[in-house]
Structure formats: C-alpha cells, structure tokens
C-alpha cells in the first residue's frame, strides 16, 4: 500500500501590499509554489532570508490568505518555532504547558492527561523532575524540547518546524536533530523542516525544496539534489555551505 498523501500544495501564491506615498504597491512573496508530501516524510525547505519559506508555512497553517490550493489530508498541523522563549508561557510549568492542549481537546481524565504528559516528557528526553519547572528555569535546548513535546502531544501527522535549531549551539543542534529523527521513526510523524542551513537539512531530510524570491527553483530527493544540482542557485548555495556530502544523514 503506497504512503498516504498528507499535503498537496498546488500553484500557491501570496502577495502583500506596501504603501508608497499615496499608492499601494503589490509585493509578491510566493509565486506558484507546488509540491506534495507523503506520510512519514521529512521535507526540507531551504533558501536565504526573505525567500518565502515562513510565508509558505503560514499559508499551510491557514493563518494568511493565498491563491492556488492547499490540500491537507490530516488535522491541523502543529508548529515548532525558532524562538522557544517566546513560544512558551513563562508563568506556566512545563507540565501545565503540555497539559493545556489536552484540556482544550477534551475527552481525557486528569490522570490520563498527566500520564500522557509524562510519556511525552520522557519521549523528548527530558527529566521528569523538570515537569514542575517554568521555561525561565530551563536551558535553550530544554525549552526547545518542551516546544517539540507541545507540538507532538496530540499526535499530529504533520509538524512544521521553522528554523527550530538555528538559535542553538552546534552540540545542542545535533541532539535536537537526533531527537526529531527518533520521534519520526517512533510515531511516523511527517515534518516540513524550514531552514537556511543546507548542512542541517542534509542531516535530517528525505526530500528538499530550494526557494528563492518566492519560487521553488529546484526540488527532489536529498541525495539527488545535493549530489547533482541542476539549478545555478542551488549550486551556489551548496558551494557556499561547505557541505560534506559523504557524511550520512541522521534521518536517512
């Protein structure tokens, strides 16, 4: 049985309007973006700042308008952001932060919710002792693990990660990437992984889209694009990244 098609983005465009003097000037952000994503797949979205990566994520989440069509064959995706500090309520404990979406969803007793919270805390590699801590008492890597736990606690099929390791040092980055790969295998999550770092994308992803100025210039399976890029922009990005293609990918 073929893998489930979980996301289809077809000819999606987005434009915002900037006021210049007395006129509103159209500024295209996305230009006819199309791709498909399968259940359990990790798709990397790479490109320089301003290429439209985060805007595309917002379109998929349904928080901004677009033209074209986006088909989600799953419930609403969950999101993990770059800045774990602003993503977490500083007045809540880790336990309460993770319990909150279960309370909103309903259908579980208090014991069932707390058992689920404990399971997820363990799954993301945090000590049970941290359940009563608040975000300000945690390290950056620990906060990002809490963010990942919050995204996965309702067992979504699709998780969108927007630069989730760029604010972390290299050692913690590697730990978080290992964690994401482990969780994908355990729960069969699908990830849309947004990053400007081609090295990070190569370590984790199965498939990659290269964006520039709102357009997808190249897409394909990771080894094909990285070893045999066709677009000149992709070639330039790879040359600038000093990527060691020989190193095995974490997620592959």
pLDDT tens, 215-245? 999 999 999 999 999 999 999 989 887 764 5
- The helix/strand count (H/E) of the chain reads as 9, 9
Q: What is the pLDDT of residue 247?
A: 40
Question: Can you give the residue ranges of every domain in the chain?
Answer: 1-77+156-252, 89-155
State whether CATH 1.10.10.10 applies to domain 1-77+156-252.
no
pLDDT of residue 2 exceeding 90? no
Is the four-CA dihedral 131, 137, 139, 140 of positive or negative sign?
positive
Question: How much is the average pLDDT of 107-132?
Answer: 94
State the DSSP code for 22.
T
Rounded mean pLDDT, 108-131: 94
Q: For residue 248, what pLDDT band results from cuts at 50, 70 and 90?
A: very low
Is the pLDDT confidence value at 19 over 80? no
| Rounded (5°) CA angle 6-189-56 | 55
pLDDT in tens, 128-142: 999 999 999 999 899
How far is the C-alpha of 5 from the C-alpha of 190, rounded, in Å? Answer: 11
d(CA 84, CA 145) in angstroms, rounded, equals 9
Share of the chain above pLDDT 70, in %: 96
Instruction: Please give the mean pLDDT across all residues of the chain.
Output: 90
- In which band, very low, low, confident or very high, does the pLDDT at 68 lie, cut at 50, 70 and 90? very high
| Average pLDDT score over residue span 181-200 | 92
In the prediction, which pLDDT does 243 show? 62
Q: Is the pLDDT of residue 122 over 50?
A: yes
137-172 confidence digits (pLDDT tens)? 999 899 999 999 999 998 899 999 999 888 788 888
Closest residue by Cα to residue 97 from 84, 107, 108: 84
């Amino acid at each position: 049985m073929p893998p489930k098609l979980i996301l289809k983005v077809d000819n999606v465009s987005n434009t915002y309007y900037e006021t210049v003097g007395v006129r509103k000037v159209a500024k295209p952000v996305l230009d006819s973006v199309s791709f498909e994503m399968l259940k359990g797949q990790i798709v990397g979205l790479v490109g320089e700042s301003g290429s439209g990566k985060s805007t595309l994520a917002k379109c998929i989440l349904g928080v901004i308008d677009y033209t074209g069509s986006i088909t989600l064959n799953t419930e609403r995706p969950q999101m993990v952001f770059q800045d774990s500090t602003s993503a977490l309520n500083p007045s809540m404990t880790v336990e309460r932060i993770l319990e909150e979406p279960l309370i909103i969803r309903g259908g579980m007793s208090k014991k069932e919710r707390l058992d689920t919270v404990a399971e997820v805390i363990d799954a993301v590699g945090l000590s049970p002792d941290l359940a009563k801590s608040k975000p300000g008492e945690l390290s950056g890597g620990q906060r990002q693990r809490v963010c990942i736990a919050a995204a996965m606690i309702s067992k979504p099929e699709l998780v969108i990660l927007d630069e989730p390791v760029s604010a972390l040092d290299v050692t913690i980055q590697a730990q978080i990437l290992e964690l994401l790969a482990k969780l994908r295998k355990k729960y069969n999550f699908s990830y849309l992984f947004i990053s400007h770092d081609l090295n990070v994308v190569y370590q984790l992803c199965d498939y990659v889209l290269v964006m520039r100025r709102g357009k997808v210039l190249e897409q394909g399976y990771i080894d094909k694009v990285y070893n045999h890029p066709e677009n000149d922009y992709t070639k330039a990005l790879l040359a600038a990244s000093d990527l060691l293609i020989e190193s095995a990918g974490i997620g592959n």
